[in-house]
Amino acid sequence: MRSARKTATLLGGVAVVAALALAGCSPSTGSGDSSGPVSQADIDKAMNTPTTITFWSWVPDLKNEVALFEKKYPKIKVNTVNVGSGADQYTKLRTALKAGKGAPDAVQIEYQYISSFRLTNSLEDLSKYGADKLGSEYVDWVWNQVSDGGVWGIPQDSGPLGNLYRTDIMQQAGVTDPPKTWDEYAADAQKVKDNTSSYISNLPGNDPGQMVGFFWQAGAKPFGYDGKKSVKIDLDSADTQKVVSYWNDLIQKGLVSTDADFNDNWYQGFNSGKYAGWPSPAWAPVFLQGSAKATAGKWAAAKIPQWNAGDDVSGNWGGSGDSVLSSSQHKIAAYELIKFINNDKESTLQFANKQFLFPTLKSTLADPSFVDLKSDFYGGQQVNKLFTGISDTVDVKFEWLPFMDYVYSSYNDTLGKAISDKTDLKKGLTDWQTAVVAYAKKQGFTVTQ
C-alpha cells in the first residue's frame, strides 16, 4: 500500500543494480524451466507434487491469502517471509542473487524497480506460464507496468492520485468546492493562508514518489529503457518544469509547508490541522484514517486538480506486483501462487477490504463490496468508488529506469533539497537531471533525451 514512500524514505545511496549488471551477475535458470510454453500437464504435475516455496513480501497478514492458495493446492506449502519493505528487501534480494543462494521463489517488487531486476536477468518471463492471457483482466496502465517484451509480474496494488481535504478548514477559508484546476488550487491555497492557521497541503522534500506522480499527471515522460543498455532521461522537460515552477511559487509565497513526510511531526500535522489537505494516492484514505483518528468525519476526497480546465487525467504514486525469480527451482508453483493471490476473487477482495491494498483487477474494482463501501471518516463518502474512477484516467504509458534506486536517492540531494530548503526548485530539477545522466553514463548506459 505505502511501499513507494517507504522506499523513498529508506533509500540511502545504495545503487548496486548497474554494478551487478556490469559484473555479469545473471542468476541460473533453475530446474523446471523451459524455452517454450508450459503445458497444462506440466502445471498439474507440479501442483500435485509436494513442494515448499518461499515468498518474500511486506504485505500485512499475507498469510490469509496464502491460506486460500494452500487450501486449493494442499501439496504446495508457502513459506512467507517479510525481510523488510522497499530498499531493505531489495538490498537483501540483490545480495542473495549475487551469492547464488538464499533468494526466494517469488517476491513483491514495486513497479518502478522491476526493470532493475530485469537488467540482471533475475526475473522469469511469465508469458510461458499463461500470464500473457491475463492482461485484459487488469487496469490497462497497471498491466503496462509489468509487461514489456514479456510479463515480469502480476499486479497487486496501485496508487492513482486524488485529493484529500479537510471540509471544516476549507469552509473556514471560504472554499465551498474542491478545486478542479491547479490554478484554482493556488487561489484556494491563498484563501486558506489568509483565513486559517493551516496550509492547504504539504510538499515534502524527501518523497520523490509523490513528485514523480505529479510529473505523471502532467503528461511528462521523464524515463525510458530499451531493456538493454539505452535509457531516456528527460527529467528537466517543459512538463516537469511546469510542475516544479508551480510548487516553487506556492512555497515561495508560504502557501504550502515543506515538512518531511511519514514521521511523527508529519502525522501530528494532520491531527492538529496544520495541513488542510493532501494530494495523495488511492492508498492514502485508509492510511490517513488510521493516522489522524481525531479528525474523523472532517475529511472528503476529490479528483486531483487538472492543468487544463475540462481535462480528467491523473498520475500514480505507489503500487507493486509479485514476480517469480529466474533462479527458482519451483517456477510453476511460484507462478500459480502469485497468479492466485492477485487474481482469485476471494483473495483480491481480502487484499482490498481487509489489508486495504487498492485493487488492480477490474473485477475487484467493480465488486459492490469494495466500490460501494461508505466511509464514516470521510462523512459517508464512497471513496473507493471515486478512486476507482480515477484509476481509469491514469496515463497508460509511463516507464522507469533500471536504476531507480539512484534516481530516488539523488532526488534528496537535488530537487528534494531545494524543496526542503525553500530555494529554487527549477535549479534543483536541473541538478537532478544532471546527476542522473552522469550516473547513467558512468554505468555504461547510452543516454537519450
Give pLDDT tens digits for 123-148: 999 999 999 999 999 999 999 999 99
Which three three-digit cell numbers place residue 285?
484514505
DSSP string, 414-444: THHHHHHHT--HHHHHHHHHHHHHHHHHHTT
DSSP string, 193-217: HHHSSSBS-B--SS-HHHHHHHHHH
CA distance 262 to 278: 13
Per-residue confidence band for 35, with pLDDT thresholds at 50, 70 and 90: low
Domains in the chain: ranges and CATH? 3-157+320-358 (3.40.190.10), 160-316+397-448 (3.40.190.10)
110 pLDDT above the threshold of 80: yes
Q: Cα angle at 37 between 324 and 51, to 5 degrees?
A: 45
Length of the chain: 449
Give Cβ neighbours of residue 234 (< 8 Å, ≥ 6 apart).
220, 221, 222, 223, 224, 240, 433, 449
Which stretches of 303-382 are DSSP H helices? 331-343, 345-353, 362-365, 368-371
Q: What's the half-sphere exposure (Cβ side, CA atoms, 13 Å) at 145?
A: 27
The pLDDT assigned to 12 comes to 29
Query: Which of 16-25, 52-61, 149-158, 379-388 is the least confident region?
Result: 16-25
CA distance 387 to 281: 9
Give pLDDT tens digits for 13-33: 333 333 333 333 333 333 344
Give Cβ neighbours of residue 98 (< 8 Å, ≥ 6 apart).
20, 23, 25
- Neighbour tally for 144: CB within 10 Å: 18
> pTM for the complete prediction?
0.92
Mean pLDDT of 201-226: 97
CA distance 179 to 200: 11
254 pLDDT above the threshold of 50: yes
Mean pLDDT of 336-363: 97
The pLDDT assigned to 87 comes to 86
